[in-house]
Structure 1
Amino acid sequence: MAEVLETLFGSKEKTRILRFFLQNPEQEYAIEEVSKRNMLKRDKTKKELDVLVSIKFILLRTKKGRKSYVLNQNFIFYPELKNFISKANIYPQSKSLDRIKNLGNVKLAVISGAFINYPKSKADMILVADGISRAKLKNVMSSLEAEIGKEIDFVLMTGDEFKYRLNMLDKFILEFLEGPHEEIINKISGLKRFIANRK
């Protein structure tokens, strides 16, 4: 799906910038932040922003000599593009999800929310792991956020904490696992059976 979008919109850079602004319609961003959040080079970001400003998809604002960019919600195709991008924003195109396996002792990684177009979810990801590298985790999350165009709301907990919360029938955990979600990693024996028996 990512390749389809890149073909339709011309490039990875344009696809990421379109998705980024459509996912964050109220926010104004300086070019440096657009570039950083989408993991794109500044010159390519500037080139794509100039094109999007020229068709009035993005508005350029100048305040006290500082330029910022914001989505034009009155753009003629805004509703259609928002709908199109949200349908395309599904987890198979998030290549960085595979990198979660390399973070360390990951026992469970489940996704919902932004990854599967389920806005009712209270989080986008639950990650259960022991002794993982915080630096690697930050790097993976930054890559995922660049791919899906928004900040990822994730919950990280140790194996013992997850086990305790599950045994206490923690509402957040149960709602997440009983709602629409996808498993990336599941090394917790009996978890599927436990959830299935509650339904």
Structure 2
Amino acid sequence: MARKQTAKNRRKRHKKVSKKDARSHRRPKKKPRVSSKTRQSSPKQSLPMLEALLGSPARARILRFLYRHPDAAYNLKTLSKILLLKTPSVARECLALARLGILKSRSGGSRKTYQVSAAFPFSGELRAISVHSHALSSAQILSELSKKIHPKLVVISGSFLNIPGSPTDLFVVADRVSEKQLASAMKQFEAQLGTELRWSAFNTNEFIYRWKMFDRFLKSIFESTHEILLGKVPK
């Protein structure tokens, strides 16, 4: 009886070992290949405060511009051209703002003009939000510039930071500077900020030379309040 039990136990152990060996001889699973083209999706850029508050980028752009020029009246065609918006969109938003009492309209000849209304109860508060809220993020500025040139140094000041009296609003250094391409980018920035911008651009060699010569213009930029979005200044 003892022998039979021993033999039975041996068979059980043999079966267990056989299953273990079988598992050990299985081919290991290959790790999935990660394609070199696969990239992490960049986080979505949140809307600036005024755009998020109004729920309409076009409406925010119109208000920001008109509150920066409160004494002037503009027709739809002029607003569309300055703000780089389609005329039907401008007409729809201006009509909605006029119905709310934020804008006032005036018909002159065949064209209707719009301007901000001082009679609106919260005109002061809305103007403060429109003018002082940042319309462009650092990522948006760099993205737009990178479409036109390959900047090495990008510095913002003045209207980008709501600081009056700065020597320039945007300063750019690149190996190749195309004034035409930069002017196109600045037009986009002006449409979103609602004001004219001053900008300066140097190629890399000119910037290094002027920096070593303690150029007055460069000194005025970096001694005033500014923000470096890309690159570093020489020591």
TM-score (norm 2): 0.69
Bigger radius of gyration: 2
- TM-superposition CA deviations, 1:87-114 (whole Å, max 9, x none): 3226427724322134334232100111
Q: What amino acid is the match of 1:132?
A: V
Query: Which of residues 32, 54, 64 is equivalent to 2:77?
Result: 32
Q: Residue deviations 1:24-43, cap 9 Å, x none? A: 22333221221222222211
Following superposition, the deviation at residue 167 of structure 1 comes to 3.6
SS state of the match for residue 208, structure 2?
helix
1:155 paired residue number: 200
Structure-2 separation of matches of 1:76 and 1:116: 28
Q: Give the aligned partner of residue 165 of structure 2.
A: 120
Q: CA deviation at 1:60?
A: 1.9
| Counterpart-to-counterpart distance in 2, 1:38 and 1:49 | 13
Write out aligned runs for 1:125-140 (5 A).
125-140=170-185
Q: Deviations over 1:52-78 (max 9, x none)?
A: 122332222333433322222443222
The answer to whether the 8 A contact 1:110-1:185 is kept is: yes
Q: Secondary structure at the match of 2:89?
A: helix
Q: What are the equivalent positions in structure 2 for 1:49-88 lying under 5 Å apart?
A: 49-88=94-133
Give the counterpart letter for 1:177 in structure 2. F
SS in 2 for 1:61: strand
- 1: CA distance between counterparts of 2:70 and 2:215? 33
Distance 1:128 1:93 in 2: 16
Greater relative CO (CA pairs within 8 A, separation 6+): 1
Contact 1:90 1:116 in 2 (8 A): no
Counterpart secondary structure, 2:167: coil
Identity level (%): 31
- Aligned-partner SS, 2:137: helix
- Count of residue pairs brought into register by the alignment: 190
Q: Is the 8 A contact 2:136 2:192 kept in 1?
A: no
Contact between 1:123 and 1:155, CA under 8 Å: does it hold in 2? yes
Structure 1 moving runs of 4+ over 4 Å: none
Asked if the contact 1:97–1:144 (Cα under 8 Å) also holds between the matched residues in 2, the reply is no
Matched with 2:5 is: none
User: Aligned pair in 2 of structure 1 residues 76, 38: CA closer, same or farther (>3 Å)?
Assistant: same
Alignment correspondent of 2:7 = none
**Partner Cα separation in structure 2 for residue 94 and residue 114 of structure 1:** 17
Structure 2 counterpart of 1:145, which letter? E
CA separation in 2, counterparts of 1:155 and 1:66? 37
C-alpha spacing 1:93/1:35, structure 2 compared with 1 (3 Å): farther
Is the partner of 1:184 in helix, strand or coil? strand
> After superposition, where does 1:87-106 map in structure 2 within 5 Å?
87-89=132-134, 91-92=136-137, 95-106=140-151
Aligned to 1:183: 228
Pick closer, same or farther for the CA change 1:90–1:7 going to 2, 3 Å: closer
Question: What amino acid maps onto 2:222 in structure 1?
Answer: L
Does the CA contact (< 8 Å) of 1:128 and 1:162 recur in 2? Answer: yes
73-82 or 159-168, which deviates more: 159-168
